[in-house]
Amino acid sequence: MANLRGLQEGIVNSQIWKSVFRVGIPNTNRKRVLAVLGSLILHLHPVKVRRSGVRMSYTWCMGGTSFFLFLVETVTGLLLMFYYRPTIEYAFTDIMDLREQAPFGIMREMHRWGAHAMVIAVWLHMFRVFMTGSYKPPREFNWNVGVILLVLTLLLSFTGYLLPWDQLAIWAITVGSSMARASPGAGNEGPMSGLVKLGDIRLIHAGDDARFALIGGRSIGAATLLRFYVLHCVVIPLAAGFLMAIHFWRVRKDGGISGPL
Amino acid sequence: MTFIKDFINVLSAGSISFTLLTSIFALIVYFNLLGGRIKAVGGMAFIGLGVFMLLMGIFVPPLLYLGIAYLLILFALARLGGRLWDTKVGLRLFVIGGLAFGLSMLDPNFFLIAAKPDNVPIVAMIFLLGFFTWVALRKAYLNDTQIAVGGIPWEKTESDEKLFTWPDLVYTELLCMILLTIVMIVWSVVLRAPLEEAANPTSSPNPAKAPWYFLGLQEMLVYFDPWLAGVVLPTLIIVGLMAIPYIDTNPKGNGYYSFRERKWEIGVFLYGFLVLWSFLIITGTFLRGPNWNFFGPFEFWDPNKLVPLVNVDLSELMWVKVLGTSLPKLWIIREIFGLGLIGAYLGLPPVMAAGPFRRFYNKMGAARYYVGAYLFLIMMSLPIKMVLRWLFNLKYILHIQEIFFNV
Ligand code: HEM
Ligand code: HEM
């Protein structure tokens, strides 16, 4: 025991350790403050928090769980990108290979289950925020940031669903995107779209309506796959990451985790 | 056993399960949250409703099942009252739910759907939703009883005290992350991600389903055209969510669980979130088979199941069936009843503002009142259309195919 303690102290007092973590073991209040302030990641948190807010039974940990699952998705998603080419020739066979060949191949599993879990976690987080009335002033704006994050989470999951390019994927996206055809005024089968005319020529048709813009063609095809891939792996994660930064910042600036006034 | 399975199959039909769930929702609010009693006017009204269902059951047999289930649940909830939120009772409910699920898994038809890899998370979601709804309402109930006797909500006793982030918060987070990592790894090892045959644009599966979180919208397609179910309503759900903090001006219940201080807000939100959103997803996932026909949880998904198409438009119902003439040619005359009905519905907020809701109108101001009222009416248009469909086989209230405008 004494040896272990000695070892620990040796490590914590070494120059290497000290160069990384400025404070040693945070065993005094001063060091606890410094530990949080001195770390980029920890300083997402304030130095001190409401006792009621720390309780799992208050936040259900669901905001943090959503964030953690987002990180899991990013890591596993990047690993998948090493194996996966978003073209009609390769997409499906790459996933097959991944399934059959990759050693310790649970990345795809983790990515897929993580995606489902993240959607559920974000819903439960929203549910908690509603039930504690935490959207009320001064947190109205952060609730709105949250709603956009919810939409982005759904879009991430939706665009990812197409990527394996199997029957499940293309038909789910076919069903999901066929709605755009019915957008009022902008889809070729939507109400009032027939009224958008230049002389006798209908301006909204299957070759230029809202659905065409979404999937890059008249039906799900190579263009859709590439489009969804770029959206899924670059555009939406960046947007979501950016909004999460704002979300977390605002949790702090709105007075920390909510509690009775 | 088969009797119980048949009973549940009948109860799951959209018209029955939706009605049952909506009434359970009202029962819990009345008996378990607001402390209503059976011997009061409200309790008697609830029992009357059950008796009415039983009587109607003479003409429409499934309603007999509905009436029985409803009354059983009514008496159980009324007996429990506030004790529904005791940990012991909650635990028992979960064990019962888990057992019921476990037993159901023995049925091959049930197993086939519930154990589909992509459906496993949704099964988990049902239990999580049940659990967290119970937790939130339990905490609200406990705080409400405190406040009722002049006390303070539990959160208030602790909220002025501050703890150091290190170690109190970071260790909780660490624990959370470790647990979650274990769950994710075990889940990924045990359950393989699905992969079907390579995409084939010429052969569509039956049923073709959207990703599960959009199945509520796909389910709405049964009742509304795509432009409403797929475009306008989803947009309004998002707009509605974003509007919540600006419409709700009640300063109470900020930062602690409570029900009585926010009855209407919580009632409306929970109804939308649990009954309209989650329940429709669950229906769309587990109870919709080939051709999007309804199948009970223990029913075989028969692709040849025939469901007669008997839905009629309001215009046909009124002109042909009631007035006994033919449909007028001009759409504005043909659709006069639908236009009138929708006009009356949308005319409600200003009328109510002048009458019974004057108090709300004055308190909220015009902008808040109208935005809130119309969002609420649009949300309620879904259950209203569902009930009209079940009662009258009503297809469209307004059917202007000339411009694809059908409601
Ligand atoms: C935060 C949320 C994310 C969600 C909800 C999500 C969701 C999904 C889903 C549902 C799939 C289909 C999985 C499957 O069928 O196996 C998928 C596939 C994929 N995702 Fe993500 N994803 C997210 C983030 C990311 C990120 C950040 C990246 C990369 C930087 C990424 C890269 C990929 C790749 C390459 C695939 C195709 C491989 C496959 O289908 O197994 N994802 N994603
Ligand atoms: C990807 C999605 C999201 C992530 C990663 C996220 C993350 C977080 C985290 C870590 C917190 C700190 C408190 C807690 O854990 O409960 C928080 C608070 C909050 N979130 Fe989110 N959130 C997300 C989505 C949402 C959504 C969908 C909403 C609402 C519609 C929302 C509204 C809020 C509000 C109002 C707070 C302040 C709560 C308080 O002070 O009690 N967030 N969020």
| Domain residue ranges of chain A, discontinuous segments joined by + | 1-43, 59-253
The whole-model pTM stands at 0.93
According to the model, what pLDDT value does residue B1 have? 79
Q: Tell whether B165 lies on the interface with A, counting CB pairs under 8 A.
A: yes
**pLDDT, tens digit, for every residue of A138-156?**
999 999 999 999 999 999 9
**Residue-wise burial string across A86-101, b where 16 or more C-beta atoms lie within 10 A, e elsewhere:** beeeebbebbeebeee
Q: What does the pLDDT average to over B190-206? A: 91
Q: Which of B158, B208, B405 sits opposite A171 (nearest CB)?
A: B208
Q: How many CA atoms lie within 13 A of A125 on its CB side?
A: 22
CATH architecture of A59-253: Up-down Bundle (1.20)
- pLDDT-based confidence at residue A1 (cuts at 50, 70, 90): low
Is pLDDT at A102 greater than 80 in this prediction?
Answer: no
**Mean pLDDT within A5-32:** 86
pLDDT tens by residue, B366-387: 999 999 999 999 999 999 999 9
pLDDT at site A151: 98
Q: What is the DSSP pairing of strand A197-198 with strand B405-406?
A: unpaired
In one-letter notation, the amino acid at residue B167 is P
Mean model confidence pLDDT for chain A? 91
| Ligand 1 center–CA A171 separation, angstroms | 18
Q: What is the pLDDT of residue A239?
A: 98
B332: helix, coil or strand? Answer: helix
Tell me the Ramachandran region of residue A133: left when phi exceeds 0, alpha when psi lies from -120 to 50, beta otherwise. Answer: left
Q: Is B229 on the interface with A (CB under 8 A)?
A: yes
- Number of continuous H segments (helices) and E segments (strands) in chain A: 13, 3
For β-strands A48-50 and B399-400, DSSP reports them as unpaired
CA distance A66 to A86: 27
| Of the listed ranges A34-38, B167-171, B186-190, B282-286, the one predicted with least confidence | A34-38
CB A181 within 8 A of CB A213: no
Q: How far apart are CA B303 and CA B289, in angstroms?
A: 8
Confirm if B292 and B309 have CB atoms less than 8 A apart.
Answer: no
**Residue B186 alpha carbon to ligand 2 centre in Å:** 27
A86-90, Cβ contacts within 8 angstroms, sequence gap of 24 or more: A86/A163, A86/A225, A86/A226, A86/A228, A86/A229, A87/A222, A87/A225, A87/A226, A88/A165, A88/A221, A88/A222, A88/A225, A88/B199
- Say what the ipTM of the complex is: 0.95
Query: Given this model, what pLDDT does residue A171 score?
Result: 94
Q: Is the pLDDT of residue B403 over 80?
A: no
Cα A138 to chain center, whole Å?
A: 25
Mutate to test the interface with A, among B134, B170, B185, B195 (most CBs of A within 10 A): B195
* pLDDT at position B90: 95
* Local confidence band at A199 (pLDDT 50, 70, 90 cut-offs): confident
**pLDDT level of residue B312 (50, 70, 90 thresholds):** confident
Per-residue pLDDT of B147-156, as tens digits, reads: 999 999 999 9
Q: Which residues sit opposite A202 in a β-bridge?
A: A197
- Whether the per-residue pLDDT at A60 is higher than 70: the answer is yes
Ligand 2: centre distance to CA A137 (Å): 15
More confident residue, B114 or A202: B114
A239-256: average pLDDT: 95
User: What is the mean pLDDT of the segment spanning A212-238?
Assistant: 93
Cross-chain Cβ contact A261/B254 below 8 Å: yes
Indicate the SS3 state at residue B330: coil
What are the Cα distances from residue A31, in Å, to A25, B165, B245? 8, 12, 39
**Mean pLDDT computed over B324-338:** 88
Total residue count of chain B as it appears in this document = 407
Higher-scoring residue by pLDDT: A194, B340 = B340
What mean pLDDT, rounded, does chain B reach?
A: 93
Q: Say what the pLDDT of residue B316 is.
A: 87
Question: Quick check: helix, strand or coil at residue A163?
Answer: coil
Say how many C-beta atoms besides its own lie within 10 A of residue A5's C-beta: 9
Please name which of B123, B285, B120, B111 lies closest in space to residue A113, comparing C-alpha atoms. Answer: B120
Q: Do the Cβ atoms of B396 and B338 come closer than 8 Å?
A: yes
What number is the average pLDDT over the span A77-103?
A: 91
Looking only at Cα atoms, what is the longest distance across chain A?
Answer: 91
Could you give the CA distance from residue B269 to residue A137 in angstroms, rounded to a whole number? Answer: 18
pLDDT tens profile B34-48: 999 999 999 999 999
- DSSP assignments along A175-203, one per residue: HHHHGGGG-TTTSTTSTTGGG-EETTEES
| Distance of alpha carbon B22 from alpha carbon B378, whole angstroms | 18
Q: What is the pLDDT of residues B225-235, one digit of tens each?
A: 988 998 999 99
Q: Is A164 in the pocket of ligand 2 (CB under 6 A)?
A: no
- Per the model's pLDDT, the better-predicted residue between B279 and B328 turns out to be B279
Cα of A74 vs its chain's centroid, Å? 8
How many residues does this entry show for chain A?
A: 261
A215 within 8 A of B252, measured Cβ to Cβ: no
